Amino acid sequence: MATKYIFVTGGVASSLGKGIIAASLARLLKARGYSVANQKLDPYINIDPGTLNPYEHGECYVTEDGAETDLDLGHYERFTGVATSHANNVTTGRIYQNVIEKERRGDFLGKTVQVIPHITNEIKERITALGNTGNYEFVITEIGGTVGDIESYPFIEAVRQLKWTLGRNSIVIHLTYIPYIAAAGELKTKPTQHSVKALQQQGVQPDIIVCRTEKPLTRSVRDKIGLFCNIEGDCVIEDGDVSSIYEVPIKMHDERLDIQVLKKLDVPIKKDIDLANWEAFLFKLKNPEKEVSVGLVGKYVQLQDAYKSITEAFIHAGAELRCKVNVSYINSENITKENVDEQLKGLTGILVAPGFGTRGIEGKILAVNYARVNRVPFLGICLGMQCAVVEFARNVLGYDDAHSVEIAPATSHPVIDMMEEQKNISNMGGTMRLGAYPCKLVEGSKSFEIYGKEFISERHRHRYEFNNKYINEYKEAGMVPAGINPDSGLVEIVEIPSHPFFVGSQFHPEYKSTALHPHPLFVAFVKAAMEYKR
Ligand code: GLN
């Protein structure tokens, strides 16, 4: 079968959940036995979101091959289990960078380089590149932003051209919002009509409209949208409120989104769809038998999207254990020596989050100290692991001014140092130690027991690392390396064996947790939190 291309656009408002719809559709197609890739095109000019503050754009997700990407790629992986890569997230910045490099090389000699055709051709190449690998029967491409935005014009134009050349091998799904006007007691379709008109003005007729709505869509509302937007009534899909994003695939299946997509793409509809494992996951998620409260200590807590993958990893692990994980987001800037007990009391697990820079760092170190001394299950991720190493140096090894050189370049005890390979790097974008690296677990360690194997691979995003000059001092005092990179000797995991659960990982386990494959470290951490008795 020729690769089928599905485009997902959004209208009326942002944040309606295009990523979740795209991921849910991918889940449904996978459940029908098809191979699917999800892709996101982002209209902003940054080459990637790696240099963006998480307050601006939420978490930066990291792929196996070390791409720093939009957080929607995390949703794709969590829903489908299909690994994404550099090819799955493309920004306007990346498109222009490539076109300009080609121009300098002389690829367009004699020609004026223009948005159409050069930029749109580059966009089309990035979309079809995934299909051309031959690995996917369906490519679902989500266009970031809202139709009508100036930035997204070239992307919509590329979609128009592809739709024309691909014919029945491509469709457009448009996600809109249907507001409910309480005073009139009515759902209003006008904003949807306008957003579809905006799309049509750019030459694109959607095939399916998915409507975010707080109230059920009546038949007459569906017919009205159909009539004004040139859509068959059956292709107006209701996307109502649900208690968990993981219910959306089931809702979309109930609404026959997958069937309509296959019909429109001339794909014969096999009768069976296997959602059994997804339903089993949902059942466990919705029927917890226990509850725990864990604290997520970080500095980007005002925007929960900043820690999206961690939040989701807790949901996956909680479902696995039939335990509702209540996560309190605690701003490390507000933690002081005086109030740390008050701030963290009642939590039976403490996670210190990844991050960068000085702000809030002392609060994180205090949180580590609290967890270590009170024997509360602790998981430190990346900067959180580094804080655990610093705390141990200060309060166990007795090096009062120990620090990471990221925060205190002149410290006399740089227990976290810059990685050798990073020392000559001056550009900030895309230059960290990124993506998957192998790690050998130490036999007899907690991590070895948790993973149940010797060799693992996890994803990284950092410039600093445990300073191996101190390794013997740490070992003797009771903090041990439990995972080492076999090639570089970098310490990837530290543990305190005398503590009920104290694990710090230089890598980010959260990026690899999926709904159907919860991450073992998160499962073990939640389990420890469930077992914790003060
Ligand atoms: N800032 C630290 C480093 O660069 C930690 C990074 C992180 O937590 N992702 O090493």
Cα separation, 190 vs 520, in Å, equals 48
Model confidence at 286: pLDDT above 60: yes
Contacts of 148 by beta carbon, 8 Å cutoff, 6+ apart: 11, 195, 198
Residue 170 in tokens? 């491509």
The closest alpha carbon to 192, from 159, 226, 168, belongs to 226
Active site residues: 382, 508, 510
- The whole-number pLDDT of residue 161 equals 97
**What percent of the chain is modeled with pLDDT above 70?**
100
pLDDT tens-place string over residues 93-129:
999 999 999 999 999 998 999 999 999 999 999 999 9
DSSP code of residue 189:
-
Average pLDDT, the chain: 95
Cα separation, 518 vs 271, in Å, equals 29
SS (H, E, C) 357-424: CCCCHHHHHHHHHHHHHCCCCEEEECHHHHHHHHHHHHHCCCCCCCEECCCCCCCCCEEEEECHHHCC
- The whole-number pLDDT of residue 420 equals 87
Length, in residues, of the chain: 534
pLDDT tens-place string over residues 17-26:
999 999 999 9
Cα 392 to ligand 1 centroid, rounded to whole Å: 18
- The whole-number pLDDT of residue 271 equals 76
Of 403, 420, 462, 511, the residue with max ligand 1 atoms within 8 A of its CB, to mutate for a pocket test, comes to 462
- The whole-number pLDDT of residue 306 equals 93
**Closest residue to atom 8 of ligand 1, CA basis:** 354
Cα 152 to ligand 1 centroid, rounded to whole Å: 32
Phi-psi label, residue 357: left if phi above 0, alpha if psi -120 to 50, beta otherwise: left
Cα 405 to ligand 1 centroid, rounded to whole Å: 11
Q: Quick check: CB of 461 below 6 Å from ligand 1?
A: yes
- Please tell me the least confidently modeled range out of 48-52, 140-144, 362-366, 477-481: 48-52
Atom of ligand 1 nearest to the CA of 464: 10
Cα separation, 379 vs 397, in Å, equals 21
Atom of ligand 1 nearest to the CA of 354: 8
pLDDT tens-place string over residues 473-512:
999 999 999 999 999 999 999 999 999 999 999 999 999 9
Quick count: other Cβ atoms within 10 Å of Cβ 486? 11
- 534 — pLDDT class (breaks 50, 70, 90): low
- 302 — pLDDT class (breaks 50, 70, 90): confident
Helices (H), 32-152: 54-57, 72-80, 92-105, 120-132
Atom of ligand 1 nearest to the CA of 381: 8
- The whole-number pLDDT of residue 451 equals 98
Cα 43 to ligand 1 centroid, rounded to whole Å: 27
- 270 — pLDDT class (breaks 50, 70, 90): confident
Q: Quick check: CB of 50 below 6 Å from ligand 1?
A: no
Q: Quick check: CB of 354 below 6 Å from ligand 1?
A: yes
Cβ atoms of 293 and 328 within 8 Å: the answer is yes
Instruction: For 211, list phi and psi in degrees, rounded to 5.
Output: -110, 115
DSSP code of residue 150:
S
Cα 463 to ligand 1 centroid, rounded to whole Å: 6
pTM: 0.96
